[in-house]
Structure 1
Amino acid sequence: MTAFDQAADKAYQTLTDIEISADAGDDDKRFFASYLLGHVSLIAADGGESAESLTRRVNESLDDAFAVDRLSDQDKLGIRSLWQAISADIGREL
C-alpha cells in the first residue's frame, strides 16, 4: 500500500467518523465532512504516490469546485479548514 493509499484511507476514515459522530446541532460540520468525502473518494480512486499528492489534489479539486459551486464563503472556509486539519494530521501520522 502506497503512502497515497494510506493517506486516502486515513482521510476517508476520519471524515466518516466526523460525519457519523457530529453532534445533532453541528450540521455544518457534518456537511463539510460529507462534501470532502466526495472529493477524497474521487481522487483516491485515481491513485497516487504520496500523502502530499493527495493533499495537493484535494486542494486543486476544491479550487475547481468552489469556482462553480454556489456555496457561501462561510461554507468554503469551513470545508477548507476541516481539510487543512485532516491533512495536517495525516502528515504527522505517516
Structure 2
Amino acid sequence: MSEFLKSADLAYTNLSQREMAAGDNTDLLFFLSYLLGHLSLVSSCDQAEDLDATALTLGMDKSLEAAFAVDRLSDQDKDGIKSLWQEIVAEIRL
C-alpha cells in the first residue's frame, strides 16, 4: 500500500473516531462529515498507488479551496474545517 493510501486511511480513522466522540456538537459533526467527504474523493484518485503522503495533504488543500470557492459556507465554518484538517495532519504527521 502506498504512503498516500496509508495516510488517507489514518486520516479516515482519525476523523471517524472524532465523529463517534463528537456527541451533540453539530458544528464539529458538520466539519467532520465535510472532511470525510473530501477525503473520500481525494483518496479515490487513479494514481493513489503511486503517490506519497504529501500528495494527500496537497490534494485535500486543493479540494477544500475549490469547494470553499463555490460552497455557501460561513467564514467561521471554513476556518473550523481548515483548523480541524490541520489538527488531523499534525496528529498523523503528514
Amino acid at match of 2:69: A
Preserved contact between residue 51 and residue 91 of structure 1 (Cα < 8 Å): no
| CA deviation after TM superposition for structure 1 residue 18, in Å | 1.2
**1: distance between equivalents of 2:19 and 2:91?**
17
In the alignment, structure 1 residue 6 sits paired with structure 2 residue 24: no
| CA deviation after TM superposition for structure 1 residue 6, in Å | 0.6
Preserved contact between residue 39 and residue 61 of structure 1 (Cα < 8 Å): yes
In the alignment, structure 1 residue 62 sits paired with structure 2 residue 64: yes
Corresponding residue pairs, total: 91
TM (norm. structure 2) is 0.91
| Equivalence for 1:88 | 90
In the alignment, structure 1 residue 36 sits paired with structure 2 residue 38: no
- 68-77 or 82-91: bigger deviation: 82-91
User: Where does the alignment leave 5 or more consecutive residues of structure 1 unmatched?
Assistant: none
**2: distance between equivalents of 1:60 and 1:88?**
18
Cα RMSD (Å): 1.2
Consecutive aligned runs of 4 or more in structure 1 exceeding 4 Å deviation: none
User: Where does the alignment leave 5 or more consecutive residues of structure 2 unmatched?
Assistant: none
| Equivalence for 2:17 | 17
**1: distance between equivalents of 2:88 and 2:3?**
15
The percentage of counterpart residues that share the same residue type is: 51
| CA deviation after TM superposition for structure 1 residue 63, in Å | 0.4
TM (norm. structure 1) is 0.91
| CA deviation after TM superposition for structure 1 residue 23, in Å | 2.5
